[in-house]
Amino acid sequence: MGPFRRIEEMEIWQRGCRLAVEVCKLAQQKEFDRDWGLRDQIRKSAVSIPSNIAEGHERDTPAEFRHFLRIAKGSCGELRTQLYIAHALGYIDKAAADNIIAECVEISSMIYGLISHLEKSDR
C-alpha cells in the first residue's frame, strides 16, 4: 500500500525499528529492574511504532494504512511520556532521554507527513 512495495524500503519504518532496538537496550539497564511495569510499557510503546507502520502498510486500503499510522503516531507520544517519567524517576539520564525523545518527535512528524500525503492522494 502506498508508494512503497515493501515495508523495508520505508525510511520511517527503518527509523522506527532502530528506535525500538535502542529503547529495548536502554530498558535492559539495571535501573529498570525495580520497575518492570514501566520497563515493559516503554518496550511495548517503542515496538508498537514500526509494528503499526508495517501492519498498516500490509492492509488493503489507504484508509487502513492511515489508521495504523495514527496508532503509530500515538505510540510516539506514549513513548515520549514514558521516557520523561523514566528520567524523572532516575532510571535514565537526561541525554539519553533527550536523544530518544528527539527521534520520537522526528518520526511522529514523518508519520504526520505520510498521513497527509495519503489523504491528498485519496482526493
> Which residues constitute the domain of residue 30?
7-122
Three cell numbers, residue 27: 530498558
Residue 13 domain flag: yes
Residue 29 domain flag: yes
The predicted pLDDT at position 60 comes to 79
Question: CATH number, domain at 32?
Answer: 1.20.1440.60
Give per-residue pLDDT as tens, 39-64. Answer: 999 999 999 999 999 999 999 788 99
Would the pTM of this model clear 0.85, i.e. be above it?
yes
Nearest to 12 by CA among 116, 103, 78: 103
Residue 59 domain flag: yes
Give per-residue pLDDT as tens, 70-123. Answer: 999 999 999 999 999 999 999 999 999 999 999 999 999 999 999 999 998 876
Three cell numbers, residue 94: 537526561
